[in-house]
Amino acid sequence: MSRLAVTGRRALLGALIAAYLYAGLGVTAAAFYELYHLIKIEFVYYFYSAFKAASYYLPRWEWYWLFCVMTGLMISLPWWQFLKARRGVKP
């Protein structure tokens, strides 16, 4: 099998990350919020703030769905191996 082929594992990873970006940011923010209240470490609250802001502002962006799809495609397609092969770099 060629190194430049899209494998099922890579396609699944791209689809999962696209789905996470589309629907999982708020859940992650809630998990960090609960974790902060359990362990009372201030640094964890910054993660909550970042994920909460991302889950609030990203879906209001007009091209959010396209961003999620393109991120999944960038992960699932073997771009770096293709670019190395074009430049003639041996792995």
Q: 35 versus 85: which is more confidently predicted?
A: 35
* Residue 6 clears pLDDT 80, i.e. is over it: no
pLDDT above 70: residue 1:
no
Question: What DSSP string describes 29-76?
Answer: HHHHHHHHHHH--HHHHHHHHHHHHHHHHGGGSTTHHHHHHHHHHHHH
Q: What is the mean pLDDT of the chain?
A: 90
Contact status, residue 73 vs residue 11, Cβ threshold 8 Å: no
Indicate whether 8 pLDDT > 60.
yes
User: What is the C-alpha to C-alpha distance for residues 60 and 66, in angstroms, rounded to an integer?
Assistant: 13
Closest among 57, 85, 58 to 71, alpha carbons compared: 58
- In this prediction the pTM is 0.78
Convert the pLDDT of each residue in 22-66 to its tens digit. Answer: 999 999 999 999 999 999 999 999 999 999 999 999 999 999 999
